[in-house]
Amino acid sequence: MKAVLLGTTAGGGFPQWNCACALCVRARSGELVARSQDCLAITGDGTGWWLVNASPDIRTQIAGCALLNPGPGPRETPLRGALFTDAELDHTLGLLTLRGGAGLTVWAPGTVLHALKDQFDVRTVIDGYAPVAWREAGPDPFELDGLRVTAIPISGKRPKYARSSTVDGNWVVAYRFEDLVSGGVLVYAPCLASWPEGFDDVVAGAQCVLLDGTFHAASEMGSATGSASGQAAMGHLPICASLPELRRFPRVRRIYTHLNNTNPVLDPASPEAAELRAAGVEVPPDGTVIEL
């Protein structure tokens, strides 16, 4: 199994286009490394690649990753499709960029498939260019090119545009990828509202876990931007709450992703980043390759 961190930040990227917080100012000056929005590419057989979420930055992300280069035919691509962890715009809008692809398949929870049809009809738009096979990621594992994939329910948090939806269920999932040859297991959970029951077993059974690192602390946005409006409702467990949990699994490779532009760990010289290094937890840059 091979995975590439195509992007590692929350919606808006780093620096965020409309933000002049101290970290974004330093990123624009080149003092801190810029990052694109959260997206993972993964393969089990080295031939067929799957996106986990499709960020608005997907064109640049694909173009910057040689493993995803098209060819040898003039319209051949190693991309087979995408898996969505949720229905958030930051994780689904990139699919519009892939509208010219043929034979793509999208896996997502039933709630997400509903939202992308009845609340924000991306499905009709995409299918008007090249029909996509839409598949529900339910409770049963499924296989994709040498990987056994399991969708793990995380929360019922729905995106703002779907607040009027009457569909209940799991709106947010994590994905567990198991290599059918090597037995390696990677867990991708970029949106974690809490540490759910049973998640200990999920982490303990993996070789690598990529976890929601959106915020470092619960009051972070207020401190960085002068306005804390909305942070509490965003559904992201802060690092200060998840790190104690991760410390209990020192044998697992632990990585934070989906970092908000206000998160101090974006600065490698910060005390917060130093604390993670001391705990053996990583905050790798875009483009990082993981092999299991």
Share of the chain above pLDDT 70, in %: 96
Q: CA Rg, the chain, in Å?
A: 18
pTM above 0.85, yes or no: yes
Residue 228 pLDDT greater than 60, yes or no: no
- Structural domain total, the chain: 1
Give the integer Cα–Cα distance in Å for 111 and 162: 10
Q: How many residues does the chain have?
A: 292
Residues whose CB falls within 8 Å of the CB of residue 128, separated by 6 or more in sequence, listed in order: none
What is the domain range of residue 106? 2-291
At residue 218, the pLDDT reads 83
Phi-psi region of 71 (alpha: psi -120 to 50; beta: other; left: phi over 0): left
Predicted local distance difference test score (pLDDT) of residue 235: 72
pLDDT on residue 94: 97
Tell me the C-alpha distance between 20 and 203, whole Å. 36
Q: Is the pLDDT of residue 93 over 90?
A: yes
Provide the mean pLDDT of the chain: 94
d(Cα 129, Cα 220) in Å, to the nearest integer? 42
pLDDT above 70: residue 232: no
Q: Write the CATH number for 213.
A: 3.60.15.10
Q: What is the tens place of the pLDDT at every residue in 38-91?
A: 999 999 999 999 999 999 999 999 999 999 999 999 989 999 999 999 999 999
Cis, peptide link before residue 284, omega less than 30° from 0: no
Instruction: Write the pLDDT tens digit of every residue in 108-161.
Output: 999 999 999 999 999 999 999 999 999 999 999 999 999 999 999 999 999 999
